[in-house]
Amino acid sequence: NAGVTQTPKFQVLKTGQSMTLQCAQDMNHNSMYWYRQDPGMGLRLIYYSASEGTTDKGEVPNGYNVSRLNKREFSLRLESAAPSQTSVYFCASSEESTYEQYFGPGTRLTVT
């Protein structure tokens, strides 16, 4: 039981490049989330998906797109990366009864 997994662990992009961050969970959770963590700002919600086929914006969605590929997988895409998107990105999933969230190990992204 791996929990929540994320790939890649580290990535360096040049301004304007695109990339997709992958997330998968094996806990059969319906809800999945993408957060970013920045020094002094804490963790902020980018997008979430309450169930397969649905996605909703969180607090800071601009510059990002998401895809809920199936119940297990939730990807985050940066179409044209900007230095302001340098951050640590965390994926999470939650149980239906308690909404307890479980986090992946994170992706450290640097945009130069």
Partner 1 sequence: KQEVTQIPAALSVPEGENLVLNCSFTDSAIYNLQWFRQDPGKGLTSLLLIQSSQREQTSGRLNASLDKSSGRSTLYIAASQPGDSATYLCAATGAGSYQLTFGKGTKLSVIP
Contacts with partner 1 by CB under 8 A lie at 31, 33, 40-45, 48, 50, 58-59, 90, 92, 94, 98-106
As measured in angstroms, the least distance from the Cβ of 11 to partner 1 is: 15
As measured in angstroms, the least distance from the Cβ of 109 to partner 1 is: 14
Inter-residue contact 30 to 50 (CB < 8 Å): yes
Output 41 or 69, the one with its CB closest to partner 1.
Answer: 41
Output 13 or 106, the one with its CB closest to partner 1.
Answer: 106
Output 14 or 98, the one with its CB closest to partner 1.
Answer: 98
As measured in angstroms, the least distance from the Cβ of 62 to partner 1 is: 17
Output 26 or 79, the one with its CB closest to partner 1.
Answer: 26
Q: How far apart are CA 97 and CA 85, in angstroms?
A: 33
Q: In Å, how far from its chain's centre is CA 58?
A: 11
As measured in angstroms, the least distance from the Cβ of 80 to partner 1 is: 26
Contacting residues for 92 by C-beta, under 8 A, at least 6 apart: 4, 32, 33, 35, 101, 102, 103, 104
Full 3-state SS string of 49-82: ECCCCCCEECCCCCCEEEEECCCCEEEEEECCCC
